[in-house]
Amino acid sequence: MAQQDAQNGVTENAAAAVSFLAVKPQLLVEAPKANDAVSFYKAAFDAEEVARALNPKRKADHELPLILSAELKIAGSTIIVADLVDDSASPLKAGGNGVVLCLETEDVQGAVAKAVSAGAVVEEEVAEIEGACCGGRVVKVKDPYGFVWLLCSPGKKSVDVEA
């Protein structure tokens, strides 16, 4: 708490000026079904796949790489579909409900301070490659109503990271 208070104190004024760039719902699909899910959304809702990032790690060479994030456009809105790996330390599995909300901002630190100041709780900071929805820094926060937001900088999503 002391740390949170200090953080708020330092950044409170700056946080008021945080600018948010986009909100993207991310659907976490039991691995390795994200690829099938993308096909479903194309067939059912005319989704257009804009970008796909793959996880370079895989258990065996013959396995298909898991999807870190597939970015779909449905009716002009962006939806992210990702494989959810239960046996990893992936922060995504703890989303609680299968849907998290990616909120992009150039000022992740300011956004976190602002959210915490309003009542959100920081769950963890996510390593870049695990962030899945965004490039750069990703911080997972839970709001007072149980919803999980990934505060992240926009970025490398369109880069295919397959090794």
Which residues of the shown chain bind a copy of itself in the complex (CB under 8 A)?
Answer: 18, 20-25, 27, 29-30, 33, 36-37, 40-41, 43-46, 74-77, 79, 96-99, 101, 103-104, 111, 114-115, 117-120, 143-147, 149
Which is closer to a copy of itself, CB of 130 or CB of 143? 143
Min dist. Cβ of residue 7 to a copy of itself (A): 15
Min dist. Cβ of residue 65 to a copy of itself (A): 19
Cα 54 from Cα 22, distance rounded (Å): 22
| Contacts of 21 by beta carbon, 8 Å cutoff, 6+ apart | 104, 105, 106, 154
Which is closer to a copy of itself, CB of 2 or CB of 146? 146
Cα 78 from Cα 72, distance rounded (Å): 6
Min dist. Cβ of residue 30 to a copy of itself (A): 7
Cα 112 from Cα 149, distance rounded (Å): 10
Q: What is the 8-class DSSP label of residue 2? A: H
Min dist. Cβ of residue 102 to a copy of itself (A): 10
